[in-house]
Amino acid sequence: MFTADQINEAISWRHDFHRHPEIGFEETRTSAIIADLLEGWGWTVHRGIAKTGVIAKLGEGPGIGIRADIDALPILEAGKSDHCSTYPGKMHACGHDGHTAMLLMAAQQIAKLDLGGRSVTLIFQPAEENEGGGRHMVQEGVFDRFPCEAIFAIHNWPALAPGHFVARDDRMMAAIGIFEIVLRGRGGHAAMPEQSSGVLTAAGRLIPMLQEVPARRISPLETGVISVTTIHGGTAFNICPDEVKLTGSARWFSKEVGEVLQTAMEEITKAVAVAHDCTAEVNFISDYPPTINTPEHAATARRVAEEMGLCVTNPDPSMASEDFSFMLERQPGAYIWLGAGREGKNPGLHAADYDFNDDVLATGAEFWVRLVQDSLK
């Protein structure tokens, strides 16, 4: 479907995006390149959607939407390739540069199709990492302005070998809640701990108790996790601090489990604080909902993949989170994992030495073209 020259061109786009990573809502250079290319191929382009997003439409009437995320992460790259990040402290550690390049590659081919009274909408979304660009797009009424019968997205998946494809009928990615716990009490001299509150001791006991909550508060047939990931407190070896801060995240699929995790966290934290003569403040924010595919559209994606000769598998869902979930709450559709592992050293997503596998660019682009063709039938 694609010539060697077309593949090399897509690789050059990907490498350029990788050299110039832009984090959430700062993707001005990235979105300008995307918009200019699409306009050159005949797409009707809308810029500045959700601040730095781009939406392109081809044709009229009903049709499908395809989303690619375009933002990078605030990570100092440790890779040694000739296309490493030129922006210190920022890198494409999740493959959004590849997602963007494969959708552009497909867009160039889709522009040559006869859509026969139907349409295709491409959504180049900013700020997937942490900032919820998908939520912003939905809140801005993207699907009112650009109606789609169904919406699809691909994420590269280094845990699967190239040629493997996943589109589960329901659960794909978990919901996430972000929490901050602040323990406060009296500080004092380390030689006289009885004159101080035990905020550090409380923190030390609280961490395993919180991470044990899913095992004791929810059914083993359900899924949930609490991870404490940072602890900040104290200034010197001989001072008992008066404040300690813990942060982390909780993950779940069902709304009921999320509510149990939050309630248990608040109850246990306050009880531990009282036992150690201090107070506790718990701030819990439910951030992204779970990413749930509609069976009909997941089945369509699998059928198209099988027609391409891809190996369609059905592994367990991931407890990681994804803001495409906001779009799937609003529209039917499917989120897809495309195998992108490397032989030998194979860094995972968000690793400082991760680099998107260019060998799967053509596979992803071909899938998008075939999916569009299937939607025209």
pLDDT for the residue numbered 1: 83
Whether residue 360 has pLDDT greater than 90: yes
Tokens, residue 303: 């059928």
Whether residue 79 has pLDDT greater than 90: no
For 4-26, the pLDDT digits (tens) are: 999 999 999 999 999 999 999 99
For 82-131, the pLDDT digits (tens) are: 999 999 999 999 999 999 999 999 999 999 999 999 999 999 999 999 88
For 274-326, the pLDDT digits (tens) are: 999 999 999 999 889 999 999 999 999 999 999 999 999 999 999 999 999 99
pLDDT for the residue numbered 131: 86
Tell me the mean pLDDT in the region 36-46.
98
Cβ atoms of residues 112 and 373 within 8 Å: no
Cβ atoms of residues 147 and 132 within 8 Å: no
From 153, 151, 146, select the one nearest 61 (Cα to Cα): 146
For 197-255, the pLDDT digits (tens) are: 999 999 999 999 999 999 999 999 999 999 999 999 999 999 999 999 999 999 999 99
First to last CA, the chain: 19
pLDDT for the residue numbered 40: 98
For 128-179, the pLDDT digits (tens) are: 998 899 999 999 999 999 999 999 999 999 999 999 999 999 999 999 999 9
For 316-358, the pLDDT digits (tens) are: 999 999 999 999 999 999 999 999 999 999 999 999 999 999 9
From 148, 141, 150, select the one nearest 62 (Cα to Cα): 148
The mean pLDDT of the chain is 97
Cβ atoms of residues 96 and 71 within 8 Å: yes
Tell me the mean pLDDT in the region 52-60.
97
Other CB atoms closer than 10 Å to residue 365's CB: what's the count? 26
Domains along the chain?
Answer: 4-173+290-375 (3.40.630.10), 175-286 (3.30.70.360)
Instruction: Kindly tell me the number of DSSP H helices and DSSP E strands found in the chain.
Output: 11, 16
Query: How does 328-346 read in b/e, with b if 16+ C-beta sit within 10 Å?
Result: bebbebbbbbbbbbeeeee
